[in-house]
Structure formats: C-alpha cells, structure tokens
Structure 1
C-alpha cells in the first residue's frame, strides 16, 4: 500500500550527524561550557530580578501583572542569549569551538520568541501546539535534516484513485486546518460581538446574521485548508449528488430543523425573550439555535425543542405583538347569593395587586346560570407573562375565596336530587305473594 520509504537511510543520516557532530571531544567540551553558561545565566537573572523590576515599575502604562509576566518569562532566556552572544565574540577572537553552542543559541532564540509571543496570547491548546511546532521546525533546521524529514514523510504515501495521500499531506492539512480553525473562531467572535452590539438590528436578525457569518467563516477555513494542501476542489464535485441523497434521507430532520430555524428568524415569529407555550411547555425563549429553540420554564427546566415543532405545531406566543396578556378567573356562587355583592367582592380581590394593570381596566362578567351555581368570570390584564400566569390567577382566586368566606358567600358543589315514585299495583301484589310464600315455607320447616 505504501511507497518505497527511506526510513533506514533517514535513521543512518541522523546517526552519522550525531557521531560526526556530537560524539567528539570538542563538542563535549562545548556542552560543558554551555551548561556553565546556563547556570551563570540563572544566577545572574536572579540577581537582576529586583533591579529590572524597579526599572519596569517606572513605566506607568505597564500593569503590575504584565510586569511580573515579563520578568518571569523573558529575563532568564534573555540573559542566557546575551551570555551566548558574548561567547561568540570570545570564540571568534581566540578561535574557540562554537558549533554546539551555535545550535543551542538558535534553540534559545526560538525559546525567547515563543516566550515573547506568549505575553500576547493565552496559554491554551493552540498556543502549546504552535510552540511545539516551532520547536520541531527549529530543531530540524538546526540539525540540517529538515528537507530529509520532509522527504521521509512524503514517502509514506498511498494512492486512492487519482489522489495521492501521504503522511506529509495529512500533517500539513492538520497544521493548516488547526491554525485556520483557531483564526476562524477568533474572527467569528469578533463579528458576533460587532453584530450583537449593533442597536439598529432586531434580536432575530442578529441571531440570523451570527449563524450565517459563522457558517461562511468556518466553511472558508475548510476550503482554504483543502486548497493549501494542493487538493483540487473540483474533485469533490461528485459529492454534490451524494450530499443531496443524504439530505433527502439520513439528514432529513437536521435539514428540516435548520430551514425551520431560518424561517423563524426571517418571519420573527419567535425571538429571544418571548414567552411561549407549545404543548405542555410554558416558558421564555432563551436562545435560538440552528437545530432547536431553548425554552426555560418557571421551574428552571430548559427544554430544547426542535425548530420544526414551531413551524408544524400550534404555538402560543404570549408576547408576539406586545406583552399585554388577559387572564381569566372563573367562579361559581349559589343561587341564594347577592349577585351585586359577589361582583363587588370579586373586584376587591384584585385591588393592591402590583402585576394587575388598571389600563385596560379589569371587569367582572356574569357568564350564565348553571345547574348548581351562578357563573361569573373575572378578567384582568398583566404585562409580564414571563413571571407566570397561573401564579397570579391562583393569587386572585385565593383572595376571592377569603372575601366570600368573610361575607358568607357560598361556592356550591355539584348536587343532584333523586325522587322515588310509587310502584305499580301488579308489582305490589307480586311482592306480597312472594313474601307470604316465603313465610309459609319457614313455618313448615319449623314444624
């Protein structure tokens, strides 16, 4: 499957370089000299720490935390680099060996650059990955085996049709994609913050623009990666038909939810902050995603409802056009009650309730005469459905109950009256005959 690789030649090349450049007395002496320089740099950096600290303290624009990071990260490698430079001057003047120390000097230079970059970037996985990559490239170039390493990685390859895939191609794709994906994330966050801070856009338009921008940015990162590693993008044209079939079958629900999400954002039927009711779920919309809508209930439960349900099912949006909501409370009283007093007591139940609006004004309606009660309905308005509807209805019903108890207003329960009519004459005669016959049998058995 793999091509003829050059692993044995590559290993022999490394062994020869080690034997010719490292395992000689002159180079071993240089290693001892470099160790002495490193120890000297350590103690000198400790001695200069307080002096450099005082010097940096005179820079008003430099924060204390930044100053400490500079001292901890750069002072030691900088002193070490200066001492290596002094040895170069001395070695040139007295014709001393400097091959190994030159290699270490280049490595220290790479180390110093990485430390300087770390002052401006957080130490996350991407930073460690880039640091490792810089160290590997620097080491290969210093050992003068960089091109040989590339040739070895390129020889580990196999062919798939007209496409040649080598280990070098895979590594390049991983490196480029990691860098571009990291940059795409940074750019996406910047674009998202700019869109969110725009006052001229509605919340639904902001969500739509954020989704479109993320899709375009990360898709561009993938396409640039494929192009950078030398893959002809036209070779993937045949995937169009396969993707179409996949979208029609396996990805049907995913695509349906994605399209439904775009429809919701365009028609503005649902937006973050709306109070909605779908099925048995009542809560406020926290987030619109490409696949679902996040709805948080009063109990703190967060439901992830597919976008498709908001298109195909009945949805109650309590704050679609405005947040004014009318709440009804139904009450039944007995027929012996004073209906005018009942109306007055029901209106008193909503007094001094902060959530109930005076405009539109609340009112009490006589709805009808039922089988067991006279039915009333109290209607009032609130402007904060996010804080709950059932709780304010419960509070009003409790106040009505207290008012009715205080004024002896009865709330009846359903009841029915049963009336027994006289039996027909023939039935009475039959029952009497049966009774007499039963008594006669008892007397005969007794005798």
Structure 2
C-alpha cells in the first residue's frame, strides 16, 4: 500500500523558494545583463528619494500649522514609510516591463525587502509614540532599532538567519556557573527592550491618568509618574532576563561589585536624585516659586530628579543641583504667601515739610496698580543724614516674580515730579572747604609783605 503524500510545511516551502531565488540571483550575477536589473533597481531607489524629498518639503511647509495629534502622527508616519513604499511601487511598475527581455530575480528579492522595511519603520514609530512620544529616549534610537529589526527580517527572507544564529551561539563565555553565548545575550537584550517598551507604554497610560487627576498637587503628580515608570522598568527587566534563560542569581556578584563602584563614583549624582525626590515630596519648592539660592534669584521653571531650573528676571536660566537646595539655605519668597514688602528710600532737604513729603510718598505709592491696599503703604523718617533727611516708604506687592525694578522706578519718577511741583528739594552731597591760617604765596620772608589767605567756597 502506497504511503499518502504529505504536504511540506509552509515555512519549508518558503525557505526552498527563497533558496531557489538566491541561486537564480547568483546565476544572474555572472551574466552581464544583470546590469539592467541593477540599473532598474537604482532608478527605482532614486525616484523614491525624490518622492521622499517632495514629501518632506510639503510637510515642513505646514509644520507651523495648528493641527490635531492624529494628523501630526500621520505626517510623521508618512515621512518614515514613503521611501520604501515609493521604491516598492516603482519596482512593481518596472518589473513586468523588464521581465519581457531579461530575468528579474534581483527585483523579486527587492520587493519583500522594501515591503518589510516600510512595515517595520511604521511599527517602530508607532511603538515609540505609544511609549512616550517625542520626549521618549526611544526617539533618538528609532532608526537604529528599525534598522536592526529589518536586518533580522532580511536575513530570514534570504535564508541566512539560521547560519548567523549558529555562529553567534558558538561564541560562548561563563559568568559564575551560568554559561552564556552571544546569541543568548542578544536575545536577552531584545527581550529587555520589548518588555521595557511595554512598561513605558503602560507608564504613559498611568501618567495621563495621574496628570488628569483633579485636586492633586503638581509635585505629587511628578513623583508618582516617575516612581511608577522606574518601578515598571525594573519589573520589565526582572521578567525579561529569566524568559531567555539568564539566571539573575549568577549576576549577583557582578551586580554587587558594580553597585560598590557606582556608590563611590556616583555618590554625588545619587545624592542629587534622592534630594530631588525629597523636594518633590515635601513640596518646599514648587514650580513658579520665587527663590534665592546663594547669588542666584529667580522663578522655578522646572524640577527634575537631579536638578532644578531657576529663571532669573534677565531671562538667564540657572541649573542648580538638588543637593544644593536641600543642604543650604533657600529663600522662598512665595512659599505660603506671595505678598512681599518692598522698601523705597528717598532723601529730602532739612528745610522741607517732612510730613507733607511723607504724605506725597504714600499717596503716589498707593495709586500704583501693583501695590496692595492691605497692608497699606506707610512712610517713615528713617534717620538724619549728612546732606538731608532720609525717608523710607514700605509697601506690599503680591507678584514679586514680575520683578521690582519697574515698580520702584515708576514710584520714584512720580515722587520726583510731585516734589518738583511742590518745591520739595532732594539734596545732593556738598562739601565746603575753608583754609584757615596764613599760606605763603611765594617763597620769601615776612618783610616781603603780609601773607595772603586762600579760601575755597562750596564744592560738590
């Protein structure tokens, strides 16, 4: 009895098909007419490059438009797949024309490679957006990741992947009792990357929920999002390594030595990170507070786990390590109450009406829009100076982050106008020098005549 015919598996059939395709390509390479295939493929790639350039110019022209997130996602995704898709379309058009005269095995191989490139680029871009968008660390390595994944798929398409895996598996080494190979390490890295991307995606979902939570302090939201992301990444790594057969206990000795080295070498950085969490948790410094640290004074514009950004009134931003904020005196002018007192000093002459001068100063200050009514402005006689009487005006403002130079200048200018109008003088330093006794005008004796006296009048 004859045995029933069996159908070969689909994977084996595909491998056999690509093996035959590679053999045909190898034969074509020995034929001068293969230059027609190479030229046609280069022409398709050149046309795809022109299409990519036009798409980039078109999308760059509309970059400043206020468009929805879905439209921005579509534009960015199109820029990533337009080159392989355009090349694939050109190859599909050129292939039947060239097939009438020559073999097209090289173009047959280019079609799955270009198609897989388009799919992989779009998938990696989608994963990047889901994991954190433009601010994600994945953004800087998107092309690298896409290229690595496409290389693996290309090796599988041409049928060389098993040989590459065997070569990588042959390179082995031992860490303790655990025997590792280069292929196992690469598998572990790929699995860690995959689980970390999933963790970042979950962290992004939780972060949006936390940010949308009403009634929660901004610092507490920042702490929760960062702790959640860090914990999910650690859990992802702990799950990924055992999945590929790497025993975590064998890495304990290496991890301990690395931890000791990092403890000595990176203790400052670790202290900054711990201080950052302390600042975020105790809420002693918040975004928008006006603080003074040493010689730096400005508004807190950003708080990270390692440093805090303070923007001064002149626009210069200072990056202050969090350890400095925790270990030194910080003047927070808007911690619990944004009202601060603004002193203004003015000197008048001894001959003026002091009470009237104080009335004018209080009246002018109370009319300014930034000066608070309660507590009300008050004027005081501070002390008696060499050239005049020193008066001090005390007023309160509720927006010190807007700066004090503008309001001080406006009040001084108006006080000067009112004083000038009512004849109240503002003195300036003066000195009167008198020379007492006889000073000889020229060398000689008393018989030459009486000595002359020299006197100096007021001098400024």
Deviation sequence 1:409-444 (CA, Å, 0-9, x none) = 33446789999999xxxxxxxxxxxxxxx99xxxxx
Contact 2:175-2:251 within 8 A present in 1 as well: no
Residue 125 (structure 1) shift: 6.4
Query: Residue 200 of structure 1 corresponds to which residue in structure 2?
Result: 215
Question: Any unmatched runs of 5+ in structure 2?
Answer: 1-18, 49-69, 97-102, 127-138, 438-444, 447-460
Query: Residue 410 of structure 1 corresponds to which residue in structure 2?
Result: 425
Assess, with a 3 A threshold, how the Cα gap between structure 1 residues 288 and 166 changes in structure 2: closer, same or farther.
same
TM-score by length of 2: 0.65
* C-alpha separation in 1, matches of 2:414 and 2:22: 98
Assess, with a 3 A threshold, how the Cα gap between structure 1 residues 158 and 279 changes in structure 2: closer, same or farther.
same
TM-score by length of 1: 0.66
Assess, with a 3 A threshold, how the Cα gap between structure 1 residues 324 and 162 changes in structure 2: closer, same or farther.
same
Assess, with a 3 A threshold, how the Cα gap between structure 1 residues 342 and 166 changes in structure 2: closer, same or farther.
same
Query: Residue 3 of structure 2 corresponds to which residue in structure 1?
Result: none
- 1:397 paired with 2:412, answer yes
Query: Residue 349 of structure 2 corresponds to which residue in structure 1?
Result: 334
Contact 2:309-2:319 within 8 A present in 1 as well: yes
Contact 1:327-1:382 within 8 A present in 2 as well: yes
* 1:349 alignment partner, SS class: helix
Question: Any unmatched runs of 5+ in structure 1?
Answer: 1-16, 47-60, 86-97, 423-437, 440-447
Query: Residue 151 of structure 2 corresponds to which residue in structure 1?
Result: 136
Residue 366 (structure 1) shift: 3.0
Assess, with a 3 A threshold, how the Cα gap between structure 1 residues 363 and 247 changes in structure 2: closer, same or farther.
farther
- 1:258 paired with 2:273, answer yes
Residue 286 (structure 1) shift: 0.6
Assess, with a 3 A threshold, how the Cα gap between structure 1 residues 358 and 109 changes in structure 2: closer, same or farther.
same
Q: 1:270 aligns with which of 285, 306, 322?
A: 285
* 2:265 alignment partner, SS class: coil
Contact 1:332-1:411 within 8 A present in 2 as well: yes
Assess, with a 3 A threshold, how the Cα gap between structure 1 residues 237 and 350 changes in structure 2: closer, same or farther.
same
- 1:108 paired with 2:123, answer no
Residue 22 (structure 1) shift: 4.0
Residue 212 (structure 1) shift: 1.3
Residue 20 (structure 1) shift: 9.6
Assess, with a 3 A threshold, how the Cα gap between structure 1 residues 415 and 221 changes in structure 2: closer, same or farther.
farther
* C-alpha separation in 1, matches of 2:422 and 2:202: 69
Q: 2:332 aligns with which of 282, 306, 317?
A: 317
Deviates more, 1:342-351 or 1:318-327: 342-351
Assess, with a 3 A threshold, how the Cα gap between structure 1 residues 25 and 399 changes in structure 2: closer, same or farther.
closer
* C-alpha separation in 2, matches of 1:233 and 1:120: 31
Residue 168 (structure 1) shift: 1.8
- 1:217 paired with 2:232, answer yes
1:36-435 equivalence runs, <5 A: 74=85, 77=88, 108-109=111-112, 111-116=114-119, 118-119=121-122, 122=125, 128-238=143-253, 242=257, 245-246=260-261, 249-369=264-384, 373-412=388-427
Deviates more, 1:126-135 or 1:257-266: 126-135
Deviation sequence 1:143-179 (CA, Å, 0-9, x none) = 4443232111111233344343433234334434444
Residue 120 (structure 1) shift: 6.1
* 2:373 alignment partner, SS class: coil
Residue 183 (structure 1) shift: 5.0
Contact 1:22-1:28 within 8 A present in 2 as well: no
* 1:377 alignment partner, SS class: strand
* C-alpha separation in 2, matches of 1:286 and 1:345: 39
* C-alpha separation in 2, matches of 1:320 and 1:113: 56
> Which of structures 1 and 2 has the bigger CA Rg?
1
Residue 330 (structure 1) shift: 2.2
Query: Residue 21 of structure 1 corresponds to which residue in structure 2?
Result: 23
Deviates more, 1:65-74 or 1:272-281: 65-74
Cα RMSD (Å): 4.9
* 2:245 alignment partner, SS class: coil
Contact 2:211-2:221 within 8 A present in 1 as well: yes
* C-alpha separation in 2, matches of 1:184 and 1:141: 28
Contact 1:295-1:305 within 8 A present in 2 as well: yes
* C-alpha separation in 2, matches of 1:154 and 1:165: 9
Assess, with a 3 A threshold, how the Cα gap between structure 1 residues 234 and 355 changes in structure 2: closer, same or farther.
same
Contact 2:168-2:181 within 8 A present in 1 as well: yes
Contact 2:379-2:392 within 8 A present in 1 as well: yes
* 1:311 alignment partner, SS class: helix
